[in-house]
Structures are given as structure tokens and as C-alpha cells.
A and B are shown apart, each in its own frame.
Chain A
Amino acid sequence: MVLATAAVVNTLLISAMYIVAALGFAFLMNVMGFINFSHGAIYMLAGYICYQFAVVYGLNLWLSFSLSVIIISAFGFFLERFCFRYATGNLDRMIIITIAIILILENSINVTVGAYVRSLPSFAPGIVKFLTFSFATDKLLTLVICGVLLAVIIGFTGRTKYGLQMQAVSQNLEAAALQGINVHRISAIACAMACGMAGVAGCLMGALFNLSAFMGDNMLVKALELVILGGIGSVGGILFAGLLIGAIDAVVPLFSSGAVGQVIGLAIIIIILLFRPQGFFGREFE
């Protein structure tokens, strides 16, 4: 019973982490059909910017968090204008440009500040006691932020003018452009939002774990798993896949060692995808 409760709670916390990390990636993929392999590198960059403000300049942690997210969003505008715009709709070109961005960002960080182990201070230190269990507060904070981000995305795409335009663009780019929607502006906003979400995730994970120049690589794989398993074009799918992968990662280590757990998790994902390539709630892509 205790084991089961612990497994459920762990599942929720791990899932929240994965979902926060994958949301920006999924958002850009759904709206623009752009597979941003450099999402992990952007996420890493945000963590380091936050570290620079909070630890090196000694600013307030939440202030530096906001600054980092704003800077990363602006970087998203830049990326869309000068890089991603020339690659939409072509998987080969997406791979080339995003790998170039990964190389530049990761190695710049690695050459300059990557030699030492760094970590952000905790956003919410302390533990919460609930019945006989105790949880780290910052993990619960991740759960809350996950909920807030999901609410923001659903509210934005469903209710606001730009959100509705985004839906139109994702359904049919040419038709949307013919209706007078500025497609470039929409994709720039989408890219900035996606990078902002990567920034939120990067700061949170930088506090939960250590910062490292190559921390984005593992995250990227998790984000890909989540998005492909959930299905492209659905927010509900990401929630479901996040819970499933979180459950695998929370439960399998109870019975086996780390690497074996990874293999089992990947095997489950591959088998599911062989029977349902478009994911749980997805539409066909390309």
C-alpha cells in the first residue's frame, strides 16, 4: 500500500517534470510542424542565463527566472526570423539547422562556463509532510507550474485572437494566409512561446538537478518520446503520454536497476508505436 502510494505520487511528480520539459517542443511541432531538435539546447541556455543573474549577479531568484524566460523568448523570435523560417516543411533542413544551433550553444557554454558543476538555488526549499509521506516542495512546485502552463496554452490557443490564428495556421497554412493572417508573425509568436516554455523548464530543472552543457540531450529524447507517443497535434495526448512515461520511470526502477529500466521503458514505447505509429491521440503527420 505504501509502495503503491509512493509509486503514484512519484509518477505524478516525474510526469509533471517531463510534461513541462516537452510542452514547448510539442507546441512548436503542433502549430508550425517544426521539429525543434535544438529545444534541449535552448532549455540548457535558459538554465545558465538564470544562473548568471541569480548567482553571479546576485539578483532575486524569481526575478532572474522571469528575466531568463524573457530573454529566451526574444531569442526565440531571433531563431524564427533567421533560422527556422527557412526550414519549415522540410525535415532534412530542420535537422541541419537545429543540429548547427545545438553545436553552437552547447559548445559555447562548454568552452566558457561548462567546466564546473553548477546548480541553481532551489525555488521552494523545504519539504511538505502529507500523512506519512514527505515531498520536496520544489517538486510539487513543478506540478503546479505544469498545471499553470497547460492552462495558459489551452486558454491562449482557444480564446485569444493570436491563438485562434495559430489554430488556423496549423490546419492549413496557405488557406490561413489567404484569409489575411500574417503567417510569419504567428510562427514568430509560436516560436517565442515555445522557447519561453523551454526557458521555464530549464530554470526549474536547473534547480532540481545540476546544470551541465549537455543536459539538453536527455531531455530532448524524453520530449520526443512524449510527443510521438501522445500524438502530434494534441495537448491531451501529451498529458497522457507524460503520465504513462512517468509511470514507467517511477515503477520500473522499483523492480530493476537503472539501465535495465531504461531498456524496458524504451521497449514498451517502441512496441506501442509499432501498433499505433501516430500515437494515442495523434493525426497523421506529413
Chain B
Amino acid sequence: MKLAQLSLYGGIIILLALLPLLVRSPYVVYVFTTTFIYIVATVSLRTVTISGQYPLAHGAFMGIGAYTSAVIAKQLGWPVWLTIPLGGIAAMLIGALIAYPFARLRAFYYAMVSLFFGIGVIQVIYVLTKWTSGAGGLVDIPHLLPVVSRVPYYYFFLGFMVICLLALWRFEYSRIGLSLKAIAQSHIVASSVGINEVRYRVLALSVGCFFVGLAGAAYAHYNFTLSPTSFDFLASMWLFIYALIGGLGSFGGPIVGAALLIIVPELLSGLKQFIPFISAAILLIIFYVLHDGLISLPRVIETWYKRRKPGTADITEGS
């Protein structure tokens, strides 16, 4: 990593760390904390998509992690520090189990079958009313930190996000990540050079599900209440859209996308009812203007700027 990049990321993290001191609004702190959790979920979704699988069940995996951790901590009284990793592991195990049969499916069919799987998971939560309280929602989940203020949670989740992102970054730029990208480009060529396609696809889904389960479990002990509707198929779609809006092609894309689509509508709208309209406006802007997601914004501006000055456009456009 170059020094400039490193200082940029360090600067962003320092700014985020200073935010609760500068902005004394608990609401802003709450919105940012939620954003950190969803950034982890979205980036873990991208880890799955680099292997060429497009899961529309990632919200359901978040739900598996959240409910596992919350139910164990609440009903069995286990310490929260133990149940959060357990939530991640539960999501990982279920992800690995379904990944084997799902390895038969490709592209569009994979997306659709995983969508049905996600809906099925939510229905299972409704069935297990005895533990999950079903549609009424699970309340009084044990707290993660023994404090009332939201600011310690903010720092906890900032650290959580940085650690998870570093781990996922390391995973993507390792040998395994390269193999996954090879599979996405052509599974036939990848198999012919000795990459075991099924094993790598299972690995990608397991890692993605572990981190999304972890994020979900942490979310449960931060929000104190859970409802199955926060993990239904629209939630899975939303995770996918966060990634698409930012741009699936790069590691930073999902981070920018999730941050934009959660923070901007929440802070811009005075009323809760108008949040969806601002989200829709952002989606339409991305759809019509920025075809490759928000991460391509600097490039689009650069191209547009150069095109205004005649003579320079043709030389630099190709490079």
C-alpha cells in the first residue's frame, strides 16, 4: 500500500474517531454506528460476489447470526462476548452447509434459489416462536457494554469495523482471493489450472457468512430488540444494493455505497416517512448518471472536465 493511500485511510479513521467529540448529537452517533455494522455486512457480501456468486440471502444470514447470539444470551444467560462469535460461527456453518448443494447453480439461478432460501430462513424464525418470539420481535436482549451512553458503542463498532475490513481485505488480496476471482472470470479455465471450484466457492460463502453473522450478532446486542422483518428478502436486496451503488468492482465501493445510502437519507430527512424517497432519489441518480457506481465518480468528473477543454480529450481518454 502506498503512503498516500495509507494516510488517506488513517485520516478517515481519525476523523471518524473525533466525530462524537465534534458532533454532540446522540442521533448522529447512532446513525454512524448502524452504518459501521452495515458496512461490515456489505463488504462481506462483496467477498462472496468476487467468486462469481450473487447471494440474495445475505440479510437472512445476518438474521441467523443475530438471532443465534440473542437467543443464547437471553435464554441461556451466556456472556455476550461468547455469543457474538457463536452467532458468526452459526451463520458460517449454515452457509457452508448450503454452499455445497448450491455449488450446482450459477449466476441468475444462484441468486433466485438463495433468495428463496433467505425467505425460508425468515419463515423458520416465525416457526420457532418459543425462542424467537416470532413476529412480535425479541426484546430485552442483553447489552453488549455495561453503559447507557451510545458513545462507547460508537468506538467499539468503529474498531470492530476496522478489524473486520482489514481481515476481509487480507482475504481478498491473498492467494485464495485471486483464485476466487479466477473462478468468477471463467470456472472452466480455473478448474483446468487446478483450482477446486466447489471448495473455493464454499470457502467464499463461509467467510462472507461468518462476517455477516458477526455483524448481525453485534447489531442484536447494540439494538436490544430484533424483528424478523429487518432480515427479510428486502433487507437482502438492500445489502446487495449498497454494494451495487458503491460499485461491486472495487473493495471501497460497498463501503462508500453503504455509507451514502444509510447516512444521507437519515440525516437529510426530518421525518421518518421521507427516508425511502431520498434513498430512491439516490438510486435514480446512480442509475442515470453513474453507471459503474459511486466509486467511479472521480473518473466521471475527470472525463467530463477534460472533454470541456478541446484538444486534450482524445489524447488522455484512452490511458
Q: Does A127 lie at the interface of the complex (its beta carbon under 8 Å from any beta carbon of B)? A: no
B273 partner residues in chain A, CB cutoff 8 A:
107, 110-111
**Contacting chain B: which of A7-15, A73-81, A174-182, A221-229?**
A221-229
A263 & B120 in contact (Cβ 8 Å cutoff): yes
Task: List residues of chain A with CB within 8 A of the CB of B279.
Answer: 103
A154 within 8 A of B: no
Q: Which of B81-123 contact A (CB under 8 A)?
A: 101-102, 104-109, 111-113, 115-117, 119-120, 123
Interface contact B276-A107, CB-CB below 8 Å: yes
* A96, CB-defined interface residue at 8 Å: yes
Is there contact, CB below 8 Å, between A274 and B115? no
For the complex, what is the distance from the CA of A57 to the CA of B121, rounded to whole Å? 43
A103, B276: Cβ atoms closer than 8 Å: yes
Complex interface bits, A98-120 against B, C-beta within 8 A gives 1, otherwise 0:
01100110110011000000000
Interface residues of B in 147-202 (CB under 8 A from A): none
Task: For chain B, residues 271 to 319, give those with C-beta under 8 angstroms from any C-beta of chain A.
Answer: 273-274, 276-277, 279-280, 283-284, 286-288, 291
**Contact (Cβ within 8 A) A274 B113:** yes
B144 within 8 A of partner (CB):
no
Whether B111 lies near A91 (C-beta < 8 A) is yes
Q: A100 and B123: CB pair below 8 A?
A: no
| C-alpha spacing A224/B118, complex, angstroms | 14
Assign chain A's interface to a size class: 35 or more
- Which secondary structure characterizes the binding site on chain B? helix
Question: Does more than half of chain A's interface fall in helix, strand or loop, or is it mixed?
Answer: helix
Q: Quick check: is B248 within 8 A (CB to CB) of the other chain?
A: yes
Contact A96 B286 (CB under 8 A): yes
How far apart sit A103 and B234, CA to CA, in the bound complex (Å)?
11
Say whether A96 contacts B283, CB under 8 Å: yes
Inter-chain contact B116/A273, CB cutoff 8 Å:
yes
Number of A-B contacts (CB under 8 A): 101
How many Å lie between the Cα of A238 and that of B105 in the bound state? 21
| Contacting pair B123 A95 (CB below 8 A) | no
- With A103-B280, A266-B116 given, is the CB distance from A259 to B108 under 8 Å? no
List CB contacts (< 8 Å) of B49-74 with chain A: 54
Specify which chain B residues have a CB less than 8 angstroms from the CB of A228 in the assembled complex: 109, 112-113
**Could you say which of B20-28, B32-40, B239-247 contacts chain A?**
B239-247
Instruction: Point out the residues of chain A lying under 8 angstroms from B108, CB to CB.
Output: 91, 285-286
Interface residues of B in 129-151 (CB under 8 A from A): 134
Given A86-B287, A95-B240, A274-B105, are A104 and B124 neighbors across the interface (CB < 8 Å)? no
- Give bound CA distance, A158 to B104, whole Å: 35
> What are 7 sample pairs from A and B whose C-beta atoms fall under 8 A apart?
A86-B288, A91-B108, A224-B112, A266-B123, A269-B116, A274-B113, A277-B106
**A residues bordering B, Cβ < 8 Å?**
37, 86-87, 91-93, 95-97, 99-100, 103-104, 106-107, 110-111, 217, 221, 224-225, 228, 259-260, 262-263, 266-267, 269-270, 273-274, 277-278, 285-286
